[in-house]
Amino acid sequence: MSAALRFLALGALLFAGRLWWDAFTPPLSPRDRGPRGEGQGEGIDVLSTAAAALDLAAADPVVARRLRRNSNFLAADAAALGLTDSDLVVRRRLATRLRLAIESAARAAEPSEVELHAYLTAQAARFAVPPRVRLRQVYLSRARRGAALAADARRLRARLVDGAAVAGDALPVSAVLPLMTAAELEGLLGAPLAAAAFAAPLGAWSEPVASRYGLHLLRVAERRPAETPPLASVRAAVREALLAARADAAVAAALDELRAAR
Amino acid sequence: MHALAVVLVLCAAASAAAAEPDREPCARRDPLRNAYFGDLHVHTALSLDASTQGTRAMPADAYRFARGESLGVQPDDASGRPTRRLQLGRPLDFAAVTDHAELFGELSICQSPDLPGYNALPCIIYRHWPRLAFFIANSQVSNSPAPKRFAFCGPDGAVCRDASRTPWRVVREAAEAAYDRTSACRFTSFVGYEWTGAPDSNNLHRNVIFASDAVPRLPLSYVDEPQLDRFLARLKRECRDERPGCDVLTIPHNSNLSDGLMFRPVEADGQPLSRATAALRHDWEPLIEIMQHKGDSECRLGPESSDERCGFEKLPFQNFMASYLPWTAVPAPEASFARWALKTGLAERQRLGVNPFQYGFIASTDTHIAAAGAVRPDTFIGHGGAGLPPDAVATGLPDDIEFSPGGLAVLWAEENSRPALFAAMRRREAYGTSGPRLQVRFFGGWSYPGDLCAQPDFVARGYAGGVPMGGELHVAPTAPPGAPAFAVWALRDAAGEPAAPLERVQIVKGWLENGAAREQVFDVAGGDTGATVDAATCTPTGRGFDDLCTVWRDPAFDPAQPAFYYARVLQNPTCRWSAYACNARGVDCRRPERVPAALADCCDTRYPTVIQERAWTSPIWYVPEEPS
């Protein structure tokens, strides 16, 4: 038997098993149905009720089938008995369909340049480039200096403070680090060093700072605060965020409206 | 060449690579290159197999997660909200969403009541019995030697191809929105997809990564072009030849599931590989994914190799089919592994003058829950549904025991931008890790001094005196004579948890000797540390190394023998993800009667509780000819 046939046979076996299971799964009795709203998130009741009113139940074959299976009646009879209100799967599905429809409609209109600018201004913190530092480091290897590490670091720092040119130990990380965010510094040399770099005064050699490789002496050459980038640099991100916000707002508004109408 | 001159050359190269007109220049730029960590293999709800496992996260969610935001993970609660959340402790530098392109249109149709085909039988099955839909779709499309579209796609498939425009647009827009074009250059996204061919269930999958947002109108999938070399040729035509600004490469993965098919040096008709086809593979496939969620593909411990470190994250089956039909499972053959491919590539180069398998290495996750870069073992929540229905809550382990969190791709680039990272992939200046963010430099040259590791300009001298990982060394100069030298410097993960120091650096050599492929593994730095870990508590004991550096010369170098060399860096032993998960669930395998059936895998002795995380650098090739 070819591999593809065996694969298909396995699938057919699972399919038959599922049909058998379905056939012997008894329909829900009214007392099996939990109280309305139990264990369900906010909004699903309102959205599913509204979706049912829009006749989305009749258009969705999964819902129709679920209703038939649960009630052993036709879907219309099931709806008349109020199962669209009490079957959790039906209600989740209807709510999801209506939610997607609302979101899709809200995302249909392309934001204008003015709207993008306004959104960037309003959400400046979200799109800001985080604070950055530029620094020089002198490294002392724990492996090479062993017990003398701390004393060597103090001695080298004193020489640096005096203005001497001091070369540290070799490390395949640049001694001159360009503008970097805290996250970038942390990835390169660890969180304690990143924190120390952002706390260090400008232009002065720091106390020794530990990394997993040894000790580092830092001198911050430049510190830049968080910056709001120009729209041209973040246009796609702003557009996507604005469309997502519109979709969320549309769903929230629909929920409010539907709740008010109940 | 003097180090300064090389730096100037690198500066020029960096400027060329960074030529991207519509963005701010990156403030963090280094001609000697930085290591950027990312994930080039990420699936979202646009992939049928992710969708049928309950994944609802879209490409935009995957990129937000990669950048450090929180991600909701299935199963969902009654109101459709995810019951689990996940967040990276350290954001990634880059990522590519690589959804399976084969069923883009079909999936879109099956989810859209307003599209014709919504009520077709495959769509009904998809909506009612998603796991069955997974098997049917794989049988008809990805796992078939002759894939074909479902009938509802129309006689020429146009209906589904047309419907695939929407998901393809979603992929491109998400990548565009995630790409940091500010001067901070914090994150790079790549437009991509997966070509998902596995004839007779033997994996030939490739991730397709585009250099920019100039991409073909539609993704070229396995169902559109099922023959690999025709696929590569057509991809070249539709991208580079017909689309201005378009460039692309493809990255094979899971050769461990190919049952030896991935690296067969033959044409579709079984004839030996032609030079043209070999050149196609060489040009378009510079990298291979050596490790991911579904196992390690480096090498096999077997008759051909006594390399004990090959016994790492090996799957107990040879292809996809055998994973579902365990009585058909056998160990994967040697030809399923990258080391075999590298050796075969040497022979093919001798025969054809071009190496079809000149692969550099990366690793990635292959997550199917959009959790790009989620490789931390102690918080691993699985990269799929662990075989469960979409709404089921796992009572056992969060993933199949044989799988793993996967790894990361690392690229040495001047800056974090698309041109710079793509250029790094092209020149194979890349490596893979099994998760920890180890930093590894690896250079090959003829005249590195023995004290190079003590030099503060190690990196500049490394570039100046030879080639970095991924490069080629050609015939030895007459002076100085002797073997090539390889300079390797590995740093332990600077910040990752669980923390572990390094144990050793190895160099793996493969070569041709009288036409026969040989291999040998050398311990070149570090060694046995005596460190261990208590698997019951995952508490490590013993010491290791914060960094390891050495300059090593091949003691058995023969200038007439083509060879490759790559570095493998091993951490001290740490707990495997499954040990963390089993411990957290209170499993005590000494009391088997108390182990719940759902957690029986915790005590399956085929799977280790302790592993050695690692990094694999791209090889450096020695070619006993003048460069062409």
Report the range of poorest mean pLDDT among A77-81, A211-215, B399-403, B582-586: A77-81
CB of B295 closer than 8 Å to CB of B402: yes
Tens of pLDDT, residue by residue over B570-623, are 999 999 999 999 999 999 999 999 999 999 999 999 999 999 999 999 999 999
Bridge partners, residue B614, by sequence: B570
B606 by Cβ neighbours in 10 Å (0-12 / 13-18 / 19+) ranks as exposed
- A180·B28 Cβ contact <8 A: yes
Do A16 and A145 fall into the same domain? no
**CB-CB neighbours of B290 under 10 Å:** 30
Bridge partners, residue B571, by sequence: B502
Helix (H) or strand (E) holding B350: helix B338-352
Spell out the SS3 assignment of B214-242.
CCCCCCCCCCCCCCHHHHHHHHHHHHHHC
Report the range of poorest mean pLDDT among A102-106, A109-113, B434-438, B604-608: A102-106
Region of residue A102 (left: phi > 0; alpha: psi -120 to 50; beta: else)? alpha
pTM listed for this prediction: 0.88
Within its chain, how far is the Cα of B250 from the centroid? 11
Q: What is the reported pLDDT for B2?
A: 47
Alpha carbon of B147: minimum distance to chain A alpha carbons (Å)? 11
Tell me if chain A has a CB within 8 Å of the CB of B138: yes
A-B C-beta contacts closer than 8 Å: 176
Region of residue A82 (left: phi > 0; alpha: psi -120 to 50; beta: else)? left
Is B341 a residue whose pLDDT tops 70? yes
Residue A63 domain boundaries: 11-32+41-107
Helix (H) or strand (E) holding B516: strand B516-526
Instruction: Report helix angle A44-53 to A88-107, nearest 10.
Output: 80
Whole-number percent of chain A with pLDDT over 90: 49
Is B14 a residue whose pLDDT tops 70? no
Kindly indicate the confidence band of residue A36, based on its pLDDT and cuts at 50, 70 and 90.
very low
Alpha carbon of B68: minimum distance to chain A alpha carbons (Å)? 10
Mean pLDDT to the nearest integer, A52-68: 59
- A229·B27 Cβ contact <8 A: no
Distances (CA, A) of B92 to A233, B32, B195, B582: 20, 21, 24, 28
Mean pLDDT to the nearest integer, A220-247: 93
SS3 content of chain B, % helix, strand, coil (to 5): 30, 25, 50
Whole-number percent of chain A with pLDDT over 70: 63
Superfamily in which the B3-101+164-433 domain is placed by CATH? Metal-dependent hydrolases (3.20.20.140)
- B79·A232 Cβ contact <8 A: no
Q: What is the reported pLDDT for B300?
A: 93
- A7·B441 Cβ contact <8 A: no
Tell how strand B620-623 and strand B472-474 pair up.
Answer: parallel
Within its chain, how far is the Cα of B58 from the centroid? 21
Q: What is the reported pLDDT for A89?
A: 53
- B132·A18 Cβ contact <8 A: yes
Within 7-36 of A, beta carbons closer than 8 Å to B belong to: 7-8, 10-11, 14-15, 18
Q: What is the reported pLDDT for A22?
A: 42
Contacts A173 to B, Cβ<8 Å: 439, 491
Do A213 and A238 fall into the same domain? no
Bridge partners, residue B474, by sequence: B623
Q: What is the reported pLDDT for B265?
A: 96
Do A21 and A149 fall into the same domain? no
Interface test with A, best of B22, B26, B28 (most A CBs within 10 A): B28
Do A103 and A143 fall into the same domain? no
Q: Could you tell me which of B570, B553, B422 has the C-alpha nearest to residue B492?
A: B570
Do A214 and A245 fall into the same domain? no
Alpha carbon of B468: minimum distance to chain A alpha carbons (Å)? 14
Do A164 and A213 fall into the same domain? yes
Give the C-alpha separation, B547 to A213, whole Å: 7
Within 104-123 of B, beta carbons closer than 8 Å to A belong to: 113, 119
Is A97 a residue whose pLDDT tops 70? no
In a domain, A102, yes or no: yes
Is B505 a residue whose pLDDT tops 70? yes
Mean pLDDT of chain B: 92
Is A65 a residue whose pLDDT tops 90? no
Do A185 and A235 fall into the same domain? no
DSSP A59: H
Q: What is the reported pLDDT for B301?
A: 86
Match 């469309």 to its residue by tokens: A243
- B30·A174 Cβ contact <8 A: yes
Token pair in block for residue B598: 């759902």
CB of B296 closer than 8 Å to CB of B314: yes
Q: What is the reported pLDDT for A133?
A: 97
Kindly indicate the confidence band of residue A47, based on its pLDDT and cuts at 50, 70 and 90.
low
Q: What is the reported pLDDT for A96?
A: 63
CB of B143 closer than 8 Å to CB of A4: yes
Is A77 a residue whose pLDDT tops 60? no
**CB-CB neighbours of B176 under 10 Å:** 18
Do A135 and A22 fall into the same domain? no
- A40·B78 Cβ contact <8 A: yes
Mean pLDDT to the nearest integer, B546-552: 98
Region of residue B42 (left: phi > 0; alpha: psi -120 to 50; beta: else)? beta
- B184·A39 Cβ contact <8 A: no
Tell me if chain A has a CB within 8 Å of the CB of B325: yes
Give the C-alpha separation, A169 to B93, whole Å: 28
- Higher-pLDDT residue of A31 and B125 is B125
Mean pLDDT of chain A: 78
Do A51 and A178 fall into the same domain? no
Token pair in block for residue A96: 């999801």
Query: Does domain B439-573+612-623 match CATH 2.60.40?
Result: yes
Is A243 a residue whose pLDDT tops 70? yes
In a domain, A199, yes or no: yes
Is A44 a residue whose pLDDT tops 60? no
Give the C-alpha separation, B393 to B383, whole Å: 14
Bridge partners, residue B362, by sequence: B289
Mean pLDDT to the nearest integer, A241-259: 87
Is B441 a residue whose pLDDT tops 90? yes
Q: Which residues make Cβ contacts (< 8 Å) with residue B276, sequence separation at least 6?
A: none
Give the C-alpha separation, A222 to A229, whole Å: 19
Is A73 a residue whose pLDDT tops 50? no
Within 152-211 of B, beta carbons closer than 8 Å to A belong to: 173-174, 176-179, 181-184, 186, 200-202
Q: Could you tell me which of B352, B372, B351, B350 has the C-alpha nearest to residue B363?
A: B372
Match 């995380």 to its residue by tokens: B613
Q: Which residues make Cβ contacts (< 8 Å) with residue B179, sequence separation at least 6?
A: A236, B187, B188, B189, B418
Distances (CA, A) of B518 to A185, B323, B338, B339, B442: 42, 31, 14, 10, 22
Do A25 and A143 fall into the same domain? no
Q: What is the reported pLDDT for B384?
A: 86
DSSP B524: E
Report the range of poorest mean pLDDT among A25-39, B48-62, B158-172, B543-557: A25-39
- Higher-pLDDT residue of A109 and A220 is A220
Here the CATH number for the domain that contains residue A191 is 3.10.50.40
Give the C-alpha separation, B48 to B63, whole Å: 19
Is B9 a residue whose pLDDT tops 80? no
Tens of pLDDT, residue by residue over B205-262, are 999 999 999 999 999 999 999 999 999 999 999 999 999 999 999 999 999 999 999 9
Report the range of poorest mean pLDDT among A156-170, B382-396, B422-436, B517-531: B382-396
Mean pLDDT to the nearest integer, B420-444: 98
Do A187 and A133 fall into the same domain? yes
Do A52 and A120 fall into the same domain? no
Q: What is the reported pLDDT for B389?
A: 56
**CB-CB neighbours of A21 under 10 Å:** 9
Interface test with A, best of B139, B318, B448 (most A CBs within 10 A): B139
CB of A166 closer than 8 Å to CB of A138: yes
Q: What is the reported pLDDT for A67?
A: 52
Tell me if chain B has a CB within 8 Å of the CB of A175: yes
What one-letter code names the amino acid at B540? P
Q: What is the reported pLDDT for A83?
A: 54
- Higher-pLDDT residue of A92 and A184 is A184
CB of B449 closer than 8 Å to CB of B403: no
Match 């009879």 to its residue by tokens: A77
Give the C-alpha separation, B522 to B216, whole Å: 45
Mean pLDDT to the nearest integer, B152-159: 94
Q: What is the reported pLDDT for B18?
A: 47
Q: What is the reported pLDDT for B250?
A: 98
Q: Count how many domains chain A has.
A: 3
Tell me if chain A has a CB within 8 Å of the CB of B124: yes
User: Is the omega angle on the peptide bond into residue B573 within 30 degrees of 0, that is, cis?
Assistant: no
Q: What is the reported pLDDT for B626?
A: 76
Contacts A67 to B, Cβ<8 Å: none
Match 């939610």 to its residue by tokens: A99
Q: Where are the alpha helices (DSSP H) in B35-87?
A: 48-51, 59-66
| Ranges of each domain in chain B | 3-101+164-433, 439-573+612-623
Give the C-alpha separation, B198 to B144, whole Å: 7
- Higher-pLDDT residue of B358 and A70 is B358
Q: What is the reported pLDDT for B607?
A: 95
Interface test with B, best of A1, A2, A7, A54 (most B CBs within 10 A): A7
Q: What is the reported pLDDT for A254?
A: 85
Kindly indicate the confidence band of residue B303, based on its pLDDT and cuts at 50, 70 and 90.
confident
